[in-house]
Structure 1
Amino acid sequence: MTTPHGIKLAVHLISTYFGDIVSKVCDCLLNKGPLSQMQVIKYTQLTKQQVANSLLVLIHHNCVQAFNIQLPGSFGEPPKIVTQYMALYDNIIHHMRFPKFSSIVSNEFGRDCAYVFDGLLQHGRLSMNQIMDRSELNIKNRENGNASNVLHENFNKLAQARFIERCPAVEPFLEPQEEGPKKRGAKSKIGDVSQTLEARALAATAPMESLRFLVESDALINGVLNNNDDDDADADDIKKSPTTSIVGEKRKQDCLESETENWATNKNKEILWRVNFEEFVRRLRHKACVLHVTERIDSIAGIVLRAVFEANRRDETKVKIEKTVPLLLQTIFDEAMKTEEGRSLTLERVRATLVQLGCELPTIAINETYSIDLKKIIDQAQAQEVESIVMKKYGRESYRMFRLLAERERFIETDKIASTTFVEKKDALVALFKLWKDDFLHLERIGNGNDAQKSETMLWKLNKRSVWEQVLDDLYHAALNLKLRIIHENDLAKDSLLVVKGTADDAAIKNRLRAKWKVLEASLFILDDAIMLFHDF
């Protein structure tokens, strides 16, 4: 779900990282959808070289996906294949979360492993040799000859944890959609006419799971051994990789590579790797669920839910699943016992907590399994966030009526709303009309006979989609303002430090500026948590 301020935030992030020209191309793709290179030139009024370079940068940093599509010819001409470019909105917004991603890797595997990971965050796509060259581990361990072993170990850790993945297909070809109904097998999702062009393109680039996280040990060792001979070639490899050299070039259908050969590679046919954002979204989603149930129920519920996630980790492959994989009670109990907080739990306490989390007790207590409804937990967390916003913006009475409508999820009469929330009918109408005016509610009027005005009954229902979109857009707006404020404060700090440099006030001003910067950064982190709750989870 993209919103006006969400697009502005994405454009600002691209401008901050890559400059105004690249952000102008990105802005065009975000607002107009997939376009060819010539269309981008037309809309942006930039030169062909500027557009080509901008697309090169955006593709290399996983912000744009190119794909080939067959368009019908005109005036008797044969169909032609055109390369189009699609902005990946989610990947752009993820740039704001790079510190969170790096912190997860550092906490799980240590700073040495995070050095390798940070190189991919900074440069988008790298081959094994480029990772070796750019990693600080290469510099630290080259003298004692341990560089290849350390890199091999850390790289394998990242791939096994699914923190990194092979880059997807460079320019997949989308088959023309066939007209009329046709039976399709379960695997023919790319040709499904019900899918949008963007969804078909992403489905076509999706790699096979068996190859997505595969680290070829022979290629890795050879790449490390050859690395010493190519110390000066890493920057040229990025510029000349197929992900960049193909920008703007036309493809013929008979020249398309097979699926197994269509991975993004550099000029030496080395496989390129990138950060797997899906895994980090999954981890942060789990963290948000644990935090919510801990606050809503108790700390034991958080421990049990965390144990479910840990036991589920090997089986869960999708980011947005509605329910966890069914697990045996004993499995959940054993996983909880591995933590220091969970060692005091009993089997009965774990069972009772699972019931508190919404699980139903099985009719047969032999090999009893439990599955937790994650969608319900996320919905509760979203509703709690929205309710707090309604409370601050409209007051306590409006909050009570909003909460009632959110729980019932159906049309309710004005009289019943007023009596249930203990609000005078006149005051309830004023509050309800204010919420309706801001598109928070649906209103349906029912009249009887010719005297409809006097006997009119007003029914109210929560307009959930509109409310959630408004809240998300407001969160994007606040995040954009905070980003601009941080930039403004940094500029002021530079000017202030130049004035007081070398004076007695130098240290005091530095401490004050550092404290202000920490508050702004912490506020941005909290805002981003709320954004992920409504957009990513």
Structure 2
Amino acid sequence: MLTQSGIKLAVHLMTNQFGNVVAKVFENILRRGPLTFQLIVRFTELTPQQVKRSLLVLIQHNCVQAFSLEQQDGLEDGPKANTQYMALFSNVLHRLRFSKFLKIVSGEFDAECKELFEGLLQHGRLTLKQMVEREKSSKREGICEDIVQENLLKLLAARYVERCPTHEPVLAAPVKDETTAKKRGAKSAKRNEESETIEQRVLEAAAPMEAQRFSIIMYTGSNVSRETSTNASSSMSVGGKRKPDPLELDRESAAEEEEVLLRANFEEFMRRLRHKACIENVRTRLDDGASIVLRAMLEATRSLEKKVPLSLNTIFEEVMKSEEGRGMTLDRVRASLVQLGCSSSARGTDESYSIDLKKIVELAKNDEVESIVLKRYGRDAYKMFRLLSKTGCLVETNKISDTTFVEKKDAPMILYKMWNDEYLQMEKLTVTGARQSKLLLWKVNKPCLQEHVLDELFHAALNLSQRVAYEREKGKELINLPADKQVMSLEERRNRQRSVTFVLESSLRELDEALMLFHDFEEPSLLKLDDL
């Protein structure tokens, strides 16, 4: 869901990180959709050299993906490929979450792993050789190639690092529709849908084979010394096909393997953050027992994104693994599953349950919107909004007032204020009879409201980001002032800047929690069935 405030936020982040020229190139691609090199030069009015350098920076930092689209009206010897560049809006937003990603890594691994991963976040993409050179050039002593390799193996096994996608995948040209006029009409109705899924198509085409995505061959000089794959122990699944051995795939191209680019796997981090948000929402909305059971189900398998069932015994065994869950009985686990709204099925004596995370995310969105309404409009507005949200249909003003016990004179003003801010929809109904009268009907349109709230969140994040940048720039100017014009000491100015920046950055991190809820947790990549 891309809004105007979202575009401005992304452009601001790019300007802060890489300067105006790179941001201008990115903004044109983001606003206009995939563009060829020639069109980027034309729209930005920059030189080809500036555009080329900007694209290299954006690709290096995973903010733009190049792809080729075959054109059917090409040369006589077949269709020609046309290289285009597509902006990756979500990857730009992830730059707000780098501190969250580092916190997850530091919570599982030591400082050396964190340092290695931080280098990937800073540089976007690195080869193993570049990682080794970067660590050797650091001031820390005792760092050797073997340590870097071992740390990289840990990050690959945890799926925090992955191979970079193909530099320029080729998408097949769309087949021209030669059917009836009725089908041609249907074709035009599907254009918006196709434009919405172009990013998904490109990313799927660019993604490396699953057998290679989290595997790499380690080298000492030119000899193969070690090979890792997160699929090594699970390449043979029951009823499944044997996956290719990465060592066999790469044996004939050892020289090319040394140049494999690696990057942070944003998808895995967002999945972890998504699960964490769902667990916290369940803890707040239900109780600790339900959150423990949900965490156990997510730990047992990551294939629950689309209601994959787990047996009750498997869930109970996973609950027992945690310290908090050891005090729970089987009946308590079963009761928590009912609380969570898990769908159940039985085969003989075996009970199985499945959870719908999408439903939990939707409930968390509702809670967030209601919280905004409560803080912005007060308790009476909160009660009326909650009633309309649960009802889901048009309700007349007096009925809302009677049901929520809000004064009849206050209810229309509060409802009108929420409607004016696009939190409610209003319809006027004219009633004819002995005396003609007009009734006002109100409802909550959740899809439209969520898009509006997302735009407000983007706008708030933009304001906070700009304020952080302003405070940092202001701090530099104060430090560089002549001594006779300085009111505070250098230490006092630095302390003030640290405290102000800390508060702003903390607020931005909290706001980003809501941003992820309304934007990132609904992405198709997080709703795939095969999470393993």
Q: Shorter-chain TM-score category?
A: 0.7 to 0.9
User: Does the CA-based 8 Å contact 1:119-1:135 persist in structure 2?
Assistant: no
- 1:288 pairs, out of 274, 277, 282, with 277
The offset of 1:302, in angstroms, is 2.3
- 1:330 pairs, out of 304, 313, 318, with 313
User: Does the CA-based 8 Å contact 1:447-1:453 persist in structure 2?
Assistant: no
Q: Distance in 2 between matches of 1:77 and 1:270?
A: 33
Q: Distance in 2 between matches of 1:14 and 1:40?
A: 17
User: Does the CA-based 8 Å contact 1:127-1:271 persist in structure 2?
Assistant: yes
Superposition pairs of residues 458-537 of structure 1, within 5 angstroms: 458-497=440-479, 505-537=489-521
Structure 1's 412 and 30: CA in aligned 2 closer, same or farther, altered over 3 A?
Answer: same
Which amino acid counterpart does residue 352 of structure 1 have in structure 2?
A: A
User: Does the CA-based 8 Å contact 1:127-1:270 persist in structure 2?
Assistant: yes
The unaligned stretches of length 5 or more in structure 2 are 180-189, 226-248, 522-532
Count residues in correspondence. 480
Correspondence 1:304 to 2:283: no
Superposition pairs of residues 412-491 of structure 1, within 5 angstroms: 412-447=395-430, 454-491=436-473
Which amino acid counterpart does residue 500 of structure 2 have in structure 1?
A: K
2:229 is matched with which residue?
Answer: none
1:198 is matched with which residue?
Answer: 199
User: Does the CA-based 8 Å contact 1:5-1:476 persist in structure 2?
Assistant: yes
The offset of 1:135, in angstroms, is 2.7
User: Does the CA-based 8 Å contact 2:428-2:438 persist in structure 1?
Assistant: yes
The offset of 1:267, in angstroms, is 8.0
User: Does the CA-based 8 Å contact 1:440-1:464 persist in structure 2?
Assistant: no
1:186 is matched with which residue?
Answer: none
Q: What SS does the aligned partner of 2:67 have?
A: strand
Which stretch of the first structure deviates more once superposed, 407-416 or 132-141? Answer: 132-141
The offset of 1:82, in angstroms, is 1.7
Which amino acid counterpart does residue 109 of structure 1 have in structure 2?
A: F
Q: Distance in 1 between matches of 2:274 and 2:362?
A: 12
Q: Distance in 1 between matches of 2:177 and 2:517?
A: 39
User: Does the CA-based 8 Å contact 1:62-1:124 persist in structure 2?
Assistant: yes
Q: What SS does the aligned partner of 1:285 have?
A: helix
Structure 1's 496 and 138: CA in aligned 2 closer, same or farther, altered over 3 A?
Answer: closer
Deviations 1:37-94 (A, max 9, x none): 1111111110011011101111111100111113465999996432111100001111
Q: Distance in 2 between matches of 1:52 and 1:266?
A: 27
Which amino acid counterpart does residue 153 of structure 1 have in structure 2?
A: E
The offset of 1:222, in angstroms, is 4.4
Q: Distance in 1 between matches of 2:394 and 2:222?
A: 65
User: Does the CA-based 8 Å contact 2:72-2:173 persist in structure 1?
Assistant: no
User: Does the CA-based 8 Å contact 2:102-2:118 persist in structure 1?
Assistant: yes
The unaligned stretches of length 5 or more in structure 1 are 183-191, 227-259
Superposition pairs of residues 85-124 of structure 1, within 5 angstroms: 85-124=85-124
Which amino acid counterpart does residue 153 of structure 2 have in structure 1?
A: N
Superposition pairs of residues 308-387 of structure 1, within 5 angstroms: 308-313=297-302, 315=303, 321-323=305-307, 325-360=308-343, 366-387=349-370
2:150 is matched with which residue?
Answer: 153
1:26 is matched with which residue?
Answer: 26
User: Does the CA-based 8 Å contact 2:155-2:161 persist in structure 1?
Assistant: yes
1:250 is matched with which residue?
Answer: none
Q: What SS does the aligned partner of 2:8 have?
A: helix
Which amino acid counterpart does residue 487 of structure 1 have in structure 2?
A: A
Q: Distance in 1 between matches of 2:430 and 2:369?
A: 32
Q: What SS does the aligned partner of 1:125 have?
A: coil
1:253 is matched with which residue?
Answer: none
Deviations 1:257-294 (A, max 9, x none): xxx99xxx998862111111000000111111111111
Deviations 1:457-477 (A, max 9, x none): 443221222221221112111
Q: Distance in 2 between matches of 1:201 and 1:452?
A: 64
Which amino acid counterpart does residue 70 of structure 2 have in structure 1?
A: Q
Structure 1's 358 and 176: CA in aligned 2 closer, same or farther, altered over 3 A?
Answer: same
1:48 is matched with which residue?
Answer: 48
User: Does the CA-based 8 Å contact 1:160-1:213 persist in structure 2?
Assistant: yes
Which amino acid counterpart does residue 195 of structure 1 have in structure 2?
A: E
Superposition pairs of residues 4-83 of structure 1, within 5 angstroms: 4-71=4-71, 73=73, 80-83=80-83
Q: What SS does the aligned partner of 2:410 have?
A: helix
Determine what percentage of the aligned residue pairs are the same residue: 48
Superposition pairs of residues 175-190 of structure 1, within 5 angstroms: 175-180=172-177
Deviations 1:417-451 (A, max 9, x none): 222112244433333333333332333344456x6
- 1:167 pairs, out of 158, 164, 168, with 164
Structure 1's 215 and 402: CA in aligned 2 closer, same or farther, altered over 3 A?
Answer: same
User: Does the CA-based 8 Å contact 2:129-2:258 persist in structure 1?
Assistant: no
1:272 is matched with which residue?
Answer: 261
Please give the root-mean-square deviation of Cα atoms over the aligned residues, in Å: 3.3
The offset of 1:181, in angstroms, is 8.1
Q: Distance in 1 between matches of 2:255 and 2:382?
A: 57
Q: Distance in 1 between matches of 2:124 and 2:3?
A: 25
Q: Distance in 2 between matches of 1:16 and 1:273?
A: 24
Q: Distance in 1 between matches of 2:512 and 2:62?
A: 20
The offset of 1:312, in angstroms, is 1.7
1:187 is matched with which residue?
Answer: none
Structure 1's 473 and 432: CA in aligned 2 closer, same or farther, altered over 3 A?
Answer: same
The offset of 1:514, in angstroms, is 2.5
Structure 1's 441 and 365: CA in aligned 2 closer, same or farther, altered over 3 A?
Answer: farther
Q: Distance in 1 between matches of 2:74 and 2:300?
A: 57
Q: Distance in 2 between matches of 1:30 and 1:326?
A: 40
User: Does the CA-based 8 Å contact 1:439-1:463 persist in structure 2?
Assistant: no
Q: TM-score, normalized by length of structure 1?
A: 0.81
Which amino acid counterpart does residue 331 of structure 2 have in structure 1?
A: E
User: Does the CA-based 8 Å contact 1:65-1:85 persist in structure 2?
Assistant: yes
Q: What SS does the aligned partner of 2:126 have?
A: coil
Q: Distance in 1 between matches of 2:148 and 2:127?
A: 13
Q: What SS does the aligned partner of 1:480 have?
A: helix
Which amino acid counterpart does residue 515 of structure 2 have in structure 1?
A: I
Q: Distance in 1 between matches of 2:297 and 2:403?
A: 38
Which amino acid counterpart does residue 423 of structure 2 have in structure 1?
A: F
Deviations 1:71-130 (A, max 9, x none): 465999996432111100001111111111111111111211112211111111111111
Q: What SS does the aligned partner of 1:69 have?
A: strand
